Structure formats: C-alpha cells, structure tokens
C-alpha cells in the first residue's frame, strides 16, 4: 500500500488525478509508556507503516472524504462541525471524527481549511497501539496546510492534531503519538520531553529491526480505562502536594521522595504512580545506553517496562503477556514489551536484524500455541515523519 494505491483510488472515486499525496507514519513507542500525560519523557519512533492521503481542492464548498479501508465516504463543511453532522444532516461516521476534528482545530486556530476531495488509506493496523488515528490527523493537518496557504512547524502541527483528538474526538491523549508521526527521523528514535516539548534524536543501529507483533485483540481507548489511569495520576499529585508543595505532575517526583511517601497513598494510586515515576527514570537511563550502542542494557529496560505495565499500571492482558514471554525467550531478541495504551494491541520487540525473519516465524508459532490466535507480525524500521510526496 503506497502512493500509487492512493492515486488510483482517488481517480476511481472522483474521476480525475489528485493534486497532492501525503504520507504520515504510525509510530511505536520503545520506552516511556503512560508518562506523556504526566509531563514525562518518552522514546517513540515513526515507523514505515503509514496513512496515505490523495487530495485536491474541491470545486464545491464542502469536503468529500473517502475512507478506503472502511469503504465509506463523508461529506461535511465547517457549518456541520459543531453538531458532528454531514451535509445531508446525518451523523458523521466515527472514522470521520478525525478529519473533521482536524478541520475544527485548525479553524479554532484561525487557519484556513479549504474544501477538499480526498481519499485516504492506511497500512497501520487500527486499534493496535501504533497510532493509526494520529497518522490520520497528521495527514489531514498537512493536507489543509498544503491547500490553505499557511505554514506551521511539525511540532505545531502535532499540537493541532492533539487538540482535535482531545477536544473533538474525546480521547484525552498526550502529545507523543502526533509528535512522532509529525517529527519522525529515519533510523532514529526521538526522546521527547512532554513538558517543554524539546526533543533530541538518538541512534537506532542499522543492525536492529523493530518487530511489531499484533495480538489481534482489539481495544477501544474511549472506553474509559485510559481516562481512569490518567485520573489516578492526577489524584496522586494532589495527595503528594501536601508534602511536596512544588510538584505540578508526577514528572516532578523523585524516586527517593516517592519511596518515602508511598505508604501514605491508597494502594491502587501507589501502584499506578510508581509505574510512572520509575518509567521516567528508565527513559532517562536509556539515553546513555543508546548513545553507547548497548542494546542488551536498553533491552533490559524494555523488559522491566513490561513487568511494570502488567503489575503496577495493570494495562496488560494475557495475550500481550504471552506474546512478550515467547519473544523474550527467542534468539536475537534484546527486549520485548507491550506498546501503546495496552488492553490489547501490539508488542514492540527489539531484534537483531539478521535474526528477524526466524524470530517472526518462531514468535508466531509460539503465540499461536499459547493462545490459539494468529498474530500479525511486521518487521519495521524507524522512518521519516509526515510529508508531502
């Protein structure tokens, strides 16, 4: 799936060739899970699976957007955004909340969103923890930038996409997913400070592959568990502020202070917040291992992260645990853990490139024998961020 598919689908739907094509990647997070909304440090990489959008300015005053993967289209304009309705008054389909949300967020920022004809399609598996929604948002932000005659930096585009997801779609996500899709760099992982939005790129050696293993168990973020975890973190900060008056988020709590005060927290809040405080420490530690090319030690941090997500943050499920357990026992695997919000979706595995083919085969067989499920497994590499092709 690539720009050629997007072009041919556009011609089929609209009867003429598209003016532009954009590719916006999905992302995988190597370390720093559930810390982005705690002002922490995260370590994502954009991957070579992406959303492609083919588009042209429309001759009408409404946008017609076809989602090839759903075999549906939506027709809407600025007037229907507040009621989430199409031009004919029917509700926008759920997938259309993402492009419509982007149009809304851009409008709120005073940026032009001329009507467009567009088709989009993606090889980022939906609901798998690889940020298919962020890749759609970044594709449409860049599409409207292309048609609207304004320019924003990749980080500014990421923030506009996050606003669409938070305030229009209704998922209270942090900035990491949109950031990675907008700012990705080939063969690099990005260490992002979610408070200052400063970031640096760190090397991923060419000798490793990022193997993404999809459990095929789907999750739905809007179902509330994500927001429950976020609320637990905020409640912990309020409780700890009586002793640590200058903290604004869990990012500000040292492990030493946390260990001293943990006994005063309700057990559930203690578990949730311990994961966050320790995970931020793991990301800080990872910089020196990546710069030194020490993949063994970096992989150990990934393994520790999975245990913490499973036992403290409690966002794993038996299928994710089975996938990780099989992977960690295979030759060539430096580290394995669930990636994304959890409750289903994918694991990320850091694997010696020469072993990747054999690793995939053995992982698929081992997972199937434990669960009876046929996983989707993808050998990926770190890729560039969203761009006009």
Could you count the other beta carbons within 10 Å of the beta carbon of residue 19? 14
C-alpha neighbours within 13 Å on the C-beta side of residue 317: 17
Q: Give the integer Cα–Cα distance in Å for 354 and 356.
A: 6
In this structure, is the dihedral angle defined by the CA atoms of residues 222, 228, 231 and 233, taken in order, positive or negative? negative
**Per-residue buried b or exposed e for 182-200, using 16+ beta carbons within 10 Å of the residue's own CB:** bbbbeebbbbbebbeeebe
Structure tokens at 155: 């980080």
| Cβ-contact 32, 279 below 8 angstroms | yes
- What 258-261 contacts at long range (C-beta under 8 Å, 24+ apart), as own/partner pairs, is none
How many whole angstroms separate alpha carbon 365 and alpha carbon 360?
A: 9
Measured CA distances, 332 to 207, 297, 323, 352, 362 (Å) = 11, 14, 15, 5, 11
- Helix, strand or coil, per DSSP, at residue 173: coil
At 78, give phi and psi (nearest 5°): -55, -35
Inter-axis angle of helices 176-183 and 132-148, to 10 degrees? 60
Q: Which two structure tokens, joined as six digits, stand for 89? A: 């008054």
Q: 163: part of which helix (H) or strand (E)?
A: helix 154-163
What residues act catalytically? 177
């Amino acid at each position: 799936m690539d720009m050629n598919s997007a072009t041919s689908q556009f011609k089929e739907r609209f009867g003429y060739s598209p003016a532009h094509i954009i590719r916006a990647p999905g992302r995988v997070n190597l370390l720093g899970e559930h810390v982005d909304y705690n002002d922490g440090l995260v370590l994502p990489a954009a991957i070579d699976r992406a959303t492609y959008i083919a588009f042209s300015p429309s001759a009408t005053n409404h946008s017609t957007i076809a989602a090839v993967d759903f075999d549906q289209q939506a027709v809407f304009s600025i007037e229907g955004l507040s009621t989430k309705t199409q031009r004919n008054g029917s509700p926008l389909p759920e997938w259309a909340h993402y492009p419509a949300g982007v149009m809304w967020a851009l409008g709120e920022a005073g940026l032009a969103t001329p009507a467009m004809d567009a088709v989009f399609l993606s090889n980022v598996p939906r609901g798998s923890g690889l940020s298919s929604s962020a890749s759609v948002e970044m594709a449409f932000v860049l599409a409207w930038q292309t048609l609207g005659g304004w320019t924003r930096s990749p980080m500014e585009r990421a923030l506009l996409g996050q606003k669409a997801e938070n305030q229009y779609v209704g998922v209270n996500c942090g900035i990491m997913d949109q950031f990675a899709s907008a700012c990705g760099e080939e063969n690099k992982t990005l260490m992002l400070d979610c408070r200052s939005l400063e970031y640096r790129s760190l090397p991923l050696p060419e000798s490793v592959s990022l193997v993404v293993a999809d459990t095929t168990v789907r999750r739905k973020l809007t179902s509330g568990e994500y927001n429950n975890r976020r609320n637990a973190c905020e409640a912990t900060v309020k409780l700890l502020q009586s002793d640590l008056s200058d903290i604004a988020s869990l990012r500000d709590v040292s492990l030493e202070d946390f260990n001293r005060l943990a006994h005063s927290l309700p057990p559930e809040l203690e578990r949730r917040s311990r994961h966050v405080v320790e995970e931020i420490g793991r990301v800080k530690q990872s910089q020196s291992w990546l710069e030194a090319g020490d993949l063994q030690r970096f992989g150990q941090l990934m393994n520790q992260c999975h245990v913490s997500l499973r036992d403290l943050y409690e966002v794993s499920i038996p299928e994710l645990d089975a996938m990780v357990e099989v992977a960690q026992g295979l030759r060539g695997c430096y580290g394995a853990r669930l990636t994304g919000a959890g409750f289903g979706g994918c694991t990320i595995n850091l694997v010696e490139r020469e072993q990747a083919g054999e690793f995939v085969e053995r992982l698929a067989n081992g997972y199937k024998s434990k669960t009876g499920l046929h996983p989707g497994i993808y050998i990926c590499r770190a890729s560039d961020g969203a761009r006009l092709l």
